Amino acid sequence: MTKRFGGLVALKDVSLYVEKGEILGLIGPNGAGKTTLFNVIAGTYKPEQGSIKFEGKDVTGWPPHKICKLGIARTFQTPKPFPNMTVYENVLAAYLFGSSQKKVTDVEQDITSILKRLGLEGKRNVPASGLTIYEQRMLEIARSLAIKPRLLLLDEVLAGLNPTETNQAINIIRELRSKDGITIVMIEHNMRAIMGLSDRVIVLHHGEKLAEGKPQEVANDPEVIKVYLGGVYA
């Protein structure tokens, strides 16, 4: 796919796939086009060229609410909860709006279960504006889980977390794949986390795909090292 903003080519002929049940890591320097790629997949932007297929269905240009109901959820690099609504109300809004593959009669049980597994059960009646950075990021995941996604796009969900919080979040991400069977594509600058979690890693640079492969292959790629550390290290 290709996506332009005026004269700026944010994505240029980027092709990728993700297998069902896979964790795909997406890395690259700031401005590489990673979040733009998520925005195109989620329907926020329409690509000038190329197509997006989900489970064999062409969803190119679909609006975000239709993409959401199809089973594709995403978090945001900067958490975007409804600040004056409680944690429970934030998840409830996503639950009622999102995927139709659930019974509304199960709402209390489902939301309580989501909040408990993300460590937010004790904050269910707290306004979202009163949460810590870690709790806000867990709320982002909670709202995504409320639509019962089959594909989850995580945009720097570990950013700003301390080592203990990072490890907790990593365990939650692993569980989403192992217990829930959710396919995950994640943007992350934490190299230890992304290399430890991902089955495959794709590197974007200036809107183009620079490298793709197993984590160790990508970590040892001279072009990837050059982009991150400079030619002397490569």
Buried b (16+ CB within 10 A) or exposed e, 59-81: beebeeeebbebbbbbbbeebeb
DSSP string, 177-216: HHTT--EEEEE-S-HHHHHHH-SEEEEEETTEEEEEE-HH
More confident residue, 222 or 230: 222
Q: What is the dihedral of CA 154, 212, 200, 5, to 10 degrees?
A: 10
Q: In this predicted model, what pLDDT tens digit does every residue of 99-126 receive, in sequence order? A: 655 566 688 999 999 999 999 999 999 9
- Token pair 């089955």 in the structure block, residue: 199
Note whether 131 and 139 are within 8 A (CB).
yes
Q: Given a cut of 80, is residue 197 above it in pLDDT?
A: yes
- Cα separation, 155 vs 97, in Å, equals 21
pLDDT mean over 190-196: 93
At how many degrees (to 10) do helices 87-97 and 133-145 cross? 30
pLDDT digits (tens, 9 = 90+) for 15-47: 999 999 999 999 999 999 999 999 999 999 999
63-80 confidence digits (pLDDT tens): 999 999 999 999 999 998
Note the pTM of the prediction, 2 decimals: 0.93
C-alpha neighbours within 13 Å on the C-beta side of residue 87: 25
Sorted by where each starts, the structural domains of the chain and their CATH numbers stand as: 3-23+33-211 (3.40.50.300)
Judge residue 222's burial from the number of C-beta atoms within 10 Å of its C-beta, 0-12 exposed, 13-18 middle, 19 or more buried.
Answer: exposed
